[in-house]
Chain A
Amino acid sequence: MSSYSGLSGECVMMKGDKGDMIEAYYAKPSGKGPFPGVVLIHHAPGWDEWVLEATRKLAQHGFATIAPHLYHREGTGAPEDIAAKARADGGVPDPQVVEDIAGAMAYLRAQPEANGKVGLIGFCSGGRHVYLAAARLSNVDAVVDCWGGNKFFDNKNDPTKRPVPPIELTDKITAPVLGIYGNDDKNPSPEHVNKTEEILKKAGKTYEFHRYDGAGHGFFNVPKSAYRPEQAEDAWKKIFAFYKKYLAK
Chain B
Amino acid sequence: MCTYITEKTKIVGSAKGPNEWMRIDTANVYFDHPFHAPLDHTLNIDFVSDAEGGTQRVAVELSAESARALIRKIEAALASGEEAYAA
Partners in one complex: yes
Q: State whether B33 touches A88 (Cβ < 8 A).
A: no
Selected interface stretch from A12-20, A143-151, A195-203, A240-248: A143-151
Using CB atoms and an 8 Å cutoff, list the residues of chain B in contact with chain A.
Answer: 1-6, 8, 28, 30, 32-33, 35, 38-40, 46, 48, 53-57, 59
Q: State whether A81 touches B55 (Cβ < 8 A).
A: yes
Q: State whether B33 touches A45 (Cβ < 8 A).
A: yes
Q: For the complex, is A106 an interface residue (Cβ under 8 Å from B)?
A: no
Starting from the known contacts A84-B28, A150-B3, A218-B33, 17 additional A-B residue pairs (CB-CB under 8 Å) come to A44-B2, A44-B32, A75-B55, A81-B55, A81-B56, A88-B28, A88-B46, A88-B48, A147-B1, A150-B1, A157-B5, A186-B1, A187-B1, A187-B3, A216-B40, A217-B1, A224-B33
Number of interface residues of A (CB under 8 A): 37
Give the docked Cα–Cα distance between A10 and B55 (Å). Answer: 24
Give the docked Cα–Cα distance between A85 and B49 (Å). Answer: 11
Contact of B54 among A43, A83, A85, A148 (CB under 8 A): A85
SS of A interface (majority): loop
B33 to chain A, nearest CB (A): 6
Contact of A84 among B8, B38, B59 (CB under 8 A): B59
Give the docked Cα–Cα distance between A85 and B75 (Å). Answer: 28
What is the 8 Å Cβ interface bit string for chain A, positions 192-227, against chain B (1 contact, 0 not)?
000000000000000000000000111000001110
